Amino acid sequence: MRPSRQAIGRVWALGLMIFLVVAPALAQEVDSAARGAARSLGYEGIQAYQAGDIPTAVDRLERAYRVLRVPSLALWSARALEASGKWVEASERFLEATRLPIEDNSDRSVQEQAQSDARAAEAGLRPKIPLLVIEVRGISPSLVDVSRDGIAVNSALLGSGLPTNPGEVLVVGVAGEQRREVLATAVEGQSTPVVLDFTPKAAPPPESVPEAQPAPAAAVTPVPDAASGARNGRTQRIIGWGLVGAGGAGVILGVVAGSAALAERSKLDNSGSCSGTACANGTDIGTLNTMRVLSSVGFIAGGVLAAGGTALVLTAPKSKGVAVRARLGIAALELEGRF
């Protein structure tokens, strides 16, 4: 909201009074050249503040206040500091304005009004200033060098609320070779806790070494002896030959049933009941069909059994033994053996 014309008029009037009325009161302490320079800086600072150029206002008013330390100029310098976000510095400057002495030959009413305004401004600003509560854990706070935005913090103030300008604040704690950093955000009217934790980290538990497990006993596969192999071979061959025989019987059944089917077919053809693949209605062809089925089953089953039996006979382990045969020739005795 833009200030009214009356407010701007009061601002300019007060600014002029700073230098036109107050400066002569300090003539003994400040020479004419310094007063002129301070007067120019004060005017520039007030103009920059009204135009919204806060950095310029802070600079000009701060430099003017260093030359002429009067309540009215302290008030304007504090206002510029508050507008720049430096609330802690502004609060201190407002308090300083209320404590500055007023010379007897100065315009006392102007300076007293400046001190009254500064007192009211400080009372309104104080509850808005954020507080930072820094706590050190794991080590004695006296052993830690703590800083806030690069400014050292007295260890006696740790754990209590430290007035802080709003915004981000970098808190650093250094203890020997250990360093802790916390970036906190100070919020208007709130207390923000910051913990610098130097608690030693617990050592990881030692890795447990698994107990040596006894090696499992090697599995022993029994090796069949020669006698057992020979017995197994004989059994397999017996079963194989049995299957070959059963297969032969099945083939014989297929041949016999097939012959019977052919005979039955010829009989039906000769009687005129059947011709080619067709038979007259009512013709009894049950015997023919039965023989056909038996013939097919005999051939198929016989072939399968014979093939399986032959495989068993051929894959049966061969028995080893010793055989000796003597043969007497005309001039020598020949021995022939198998081992």
- Residue 122 located in a structural domain: yes
Q: Indicate if 65 and 83 belong to the same structural domain.
A: yes
pLDDT of residue 13: 46
Which residue did the predictor score with more confidence, 62 or 339? 62
Question: CB under 8 Å to 125, separation ≥6 — which residues?
Answer: 82, 87, 90, 91, 94
pLDDT of residue 175: 92
- Residue 336 located in a structural domain: no
Is residue 211's pLDDT more than 80?
A: no
Is residue 216's pLDDT more than 70?
A: no
pLDDT of residue 1: 44
Which residue did the predictor score with more confidence, 262 or 64? 64
Is residue 332's pLDDT more than 60?
A: no
Q: Indicate if 38 and 115 belong to the same structural domain.
A: yes
Q: Indicate if 89 and 30 belong to the same structural domain.
A: yes
Last residue of a domain, one of 98, 127, 156: 127
CATH number of residue 149's parent domain: 2.60.40
Confidence of residue 286 (pLDDT cuts 50, 70, 90): confident
Q: Indicate if 19 and 121 belong to the same structural domain.
A: yes
Confidence of residue 72 (pLDDT cuts 50, 70, 90): confident
Instruction: Point out which residues pair with 335 in neighbouring strands.
Output: 326
Task: State the residue range of the domain holding 112.
Answer: 5-127
Among 104-113, 194-203, 222-231, name the most confident range: 194-203
Nearest to 248 by CA among 89, 216, 256, 147: 256
Contact 36, 52 (CB under 8 A): no
Q: CA-CA distance, 46 to 58, in Å (whole number)?
A: 9
pLDDT of residue 99: 93
Q: Indicate if 35 and 84 belong to the same structural domain.
A: yes
- Residue 213 located in a structural domain: no
Contact 62, 77 (CB under 8 A): yes
pLDDT of residue 258: 78
Nearest to 147 by CA among 129, 128, 164: 164
Confidence of residue 87 (pLDDT cuts 50, 70, 90): very high
Q: For the chain, what percent of residues have pLDDT higher than 70? A: 71
| C-alpha triplet 123, 101, 122: angle, nearest 5° | 10
| Average pLDDT of the residues in 64-76 | 89
Lowest mean pLDDT among 104-113, 117-126, 151-160, 319-328: 319-328
Q: Indicate if 294 and 266 belong to the same structural domain.
A: yes
Instruction: Point out which residues pair with 336 in neighbouring strands.
Output: 325
Last residue of a domain, one of 107, 127, 147: 127
Q: Indicate if 136 and 103 belong to the same structural domain.
A: no
Is residue 118's pLDDT more than 80?
A: yes
Is residue 237's pLDDT more than 70?
A: yes
Nearest to 294 by CA among 244, 248, 252: 252
Confidence of residue 210 (pLDDT cuts 50, 70, 90): low
Q: What residue has token string 């001039």?
A: 331
Lowest mean pLDDT among 16-20, 48-52, 98-102, 177-181: 16-20
**How many separate domains does the chain show?**
3
Q: Indicate if 63 and 122 belong to the same structural domain.
A: yes
Q: Indicate if 24 and 111 belong to the same structural domain.
A: yes
Instruction: Point out which residues pair with 172 in neighbouring strands.
Output: 147, 181
Q: What b/e sequence results for 217-228 when a residue is b if at least 16 CB atoms lie within 10 Å of its CB, and e otherwise?
A: eeeeeeeeeeee
- Residue 69 located in a structural domain: yes
pLDDT of residue 296: 85
- Total residues belonging to the chain: 339
Q: Indicate if 16 and 123 belong to the same structural domain.
A: yes
Among 87-91, 207-211, 263-267, 277-281, name the most confident range: 87-91
Q: For the chain, what percent of residues have pLDDT higher than 90? A: 38
Q: At what angle do helices 108-125 and 71-83 cross, to 10 degrees?
A: 30
CB atoms under 10 Å from CB of 103, counted, come to 15
Q: Which spans in the chain are helix H?
A: 5-20, 32-51, 54-67, 71-83, 87-99, 108-125, 226-271, 286-315
| Average pLDDT of the residues in 5-27 | 47
Q: Indicate if 174 and 269 belong to the same structural domain.
A: no
pLDDT of residue 275: 66
Confidence of residue 82 (pLDDT cuts 50, 70, 90): very high
Q: Indicate if 46 and 156 belong to the same structural domain.
A: no
Is residue 331's pLDDT more than 60?
A: no
pLDDT of residue 133: 95
Q: How far from chain centre, in Å, is Cα 261? A: 83
Averaged confidence pLDDT in the chain: 78
pLDDT of residue 318: 66
Is residue 242's pLDDT more than 70?
A: yes
Is residue 15's pLDDT more than 60?
A: no
Question: CB under 8 Å to 287, separation ≥6 — which residues?
Answer: 260, 264
CATH number of residue 11's parent domain: 1.25.40.10
Last residue of a domain, one of 69, 94, 127: 127
